[in-house]
Structure 1
Amino acid sequence: MNEAFDFVEMRVPAKAEYVGVARLSVSGIASRMGFAYDDIEDLKVAISEAITNAVRHAYQDEPGEVTIGFGVYDNRLEVMVADRGGSFKLEDIKQSIGPYRHDEKINNLREGGFGLFLINALMDKVEINNEHGVIVLMTKYLSEVEVDVSDDQISTT
């Protein structure tokens, strides 16, 4: 059974000056969904790292574009960042990628280095496909329990 979701897609030139456009977009989507401030900041950093890696490594001597897709679900936000790719078919992409495994050699991934570790630390789930360019799928779940100022857990539902 397929879960209902909204899908927002955007393409930006593979230039560092367009990272801010994606950061603003994810901030607006996550805010509308009800994410906490800290989670929105985590999303912004993770998407910035993914796009910056695509800009640095995918198109070194040629113009290109980065495609960013947002899968908006009731309980989570899935963000996909792809280089050298066309439009996303979310369900097809999800079938062909797998989770990042800590036992994989990081040098085998173009997203290698600190950026991938940072993305993995900030997001709830990270999956990568590097068969045709690189697709990074990052998932952040909408928290239903938050900590109050007094350190007591409170329900947001």
Structure 2
Amino acid sequence: MERFDFVEMKVPAKPEFVGVARLSTSGVASRMGFSYEDIEDLKVAISEAITNATTHAYKNEEEGEVTIGFGVYHNRLEIMVADHGGSFNLAKVKEGIGPYRQSESIEQLREGGFGLFLIDALMDKVEIKNEYGVIVLMTKYLHTNEVGLDDDQISATQ
């Protein structure tokens, strides 16, 4: 099995916590060597996924949480965003997940699903699972020619 690190966090399903997830995404992606443009794309995509979860998954009176998982591989970052809490069993998530198709009825996923079109445009691969709540699995590949990966180049994170 391919080796990877897994980082998981839970945030309250409130709009004011989207920034926390954006910062975490930026930190993980920066550490991996993603370009500035790719990091910006990742931040927009995770914002859309979490906003979708906070806006549509819970009724106003319901106190919910969003679980965010980062699968850190040598060549890609996989980000999972799930409403209705719970920890990720990565193998279980991956066995039942399918690709997002733009032909799918947005209502089937949620009203306000425009964010999924944006996520799909920004990421290399988007998969959705919506049995109980919704899990969005977004993948961004790390291109080996990114600036800052070679010793003779200046890294933006110094």
TM-score, scaled to structure 2: 0.89
Matched AA of 1:128? I
For residues 39-54 of structure 1, the aligned pairs below 5 Å read 39-54=38-53
**What CA deviation, in whole Å up to 9, does each residue of 1:6-59 have, x standing for no partner?**
000000000000000000000000000000000000000000000000000001
For residues 81-92 of structure 1, the aligned pairs below 5 Å read 81-92=81-92
The answer to whether structure 1 residue 22 and structure 2 residue 21 are counterparts is yes
How far the C-alpha of 1:104 sits from its partner, in A, is 1.4
Aligned to 1:38: 37
For residues 1-157 of structure 1, the aligned pairs below 5 Å read 2-61=1-60, 62-110=62-110, 112-145=112-145
The whole-number CA distance in structure 1 between the counterparts of 2:9 and 2:64 is 14
- Over aligned residues, Cα RMSD in angstroms? 1.8
How far the C-alpha of 1:110 sits from its partner, in A, is 1.5
The whole-number CA distance in structure 2 between the counterparts of 1:24 and 1:102 is 28
The whole-number CA distance in structure 2 between the counterparts of 1:97 and 1:127 is 6
The whole-number CA distance in structure 1 between the counterparts of 2:14 and 2:102 is 30
Structure number having the greater strand percentage: 1
How far the C-alpha of 1:103 sits from its partner, in A, is 2.2
Stretches of 4+ aligned residues off by more than 3 angstroms = none
Matched AA of 1:16? P
How far the C-alpha of 1:144 sits from its partner, in A, is 2.0
* Matched position secondary structure for 1:77: strand
> Aligned in 2, Cα 1:77/1:111: closer, same or farther, shift over 3 Å?
farther
Contact 2:126-2:136 at 8 Å conserved across structures: yes
Contact 1:53-1:111 at 8 Å conserved across structures: no
The whole-number CA distance in structure 2 between the counterparts of 1:110 and 1:156 is 43
* Matched position secondary structure for 1:63: coil
> Aligned in 2, Cα 1:47/1:111: closer, same or farther, shift over 3 Å?
farther
The whole-number CA distance in structure 2 between the counterparts of 1:11 and 1:124 is 24
Aligned residues: 149
Contact 1:144-1:156 at 8 Å conserved across structures: no
Aligned to 2:156: none
